Amino acid sequence: MSQEIIFAPMGVMALITFVVLGFIPARRFRAAAAGRVKADDFRFGESAAVPGDVSIPNRNYMNLLELPTLFYVAGLMYYVAGRVDQTALAVAWTYVGLRALHSVIHLTYNNVFHRLTAFGLSNVVLMAFWLLFFV
């Protein structure tokens, strides 16, 4: 199997992060145009005056820069060690799918239990990705 194939799920994970990043200014500018926020509301990050629907993309973006860093590191470990196989690739795609689902839920209807389920499962899959490397 071509070892470079592991870069496909890693690239999609990065794409998800960039798409979510695009939601931040879109929601902020829309809220500012509607008079729902002002520039000072963002002076030191996001103040309590920022409505939830405006702050959610920023929170989701920050979340995509936290645990997914372990996914990128593990993906590089698989590549460097020449350990990319069908199982590792399937686990990587499962992780990316669950993180995409988590972002979709968070940015749309934001049901906490659905979001937590996707997030929790993604973390279990990420742990499995790491364990699989060392087993």
pTM of the model: 0.94
Integer Cα distance of 32 and 28 in angstroms: 6
- Please identify, in words, the CATH class of the domain defined by 3-134: mainly alpha
Q: Contact, 125 vs 115, CB < 8 A? A: no
Integer Cα distance of 71 and 59 in angstroms: 19
pLDDT reported for residue 44: 87
Measured N-to-C along each axis, helices 86-107 and 112-134 cross at an angle, to the nearest 10 degrees, of 160
In the chain, where are the structural domains located?
A: 3-134
Per-residue pLDDT of the chain (135 residues; tens, 9 = 90+): 999 999 999 999 999 999 999 999 999 999 999 999 999 998 888 888 999 999 999 999 999 999 999 999 999 999 999 999 999 999 999 999 999 999 999 999 999 999 999 999 999 999 999 999 999
Integer Cα distance of 54 and 57 in angstroms: 7
Tokens of 128: 């499995």
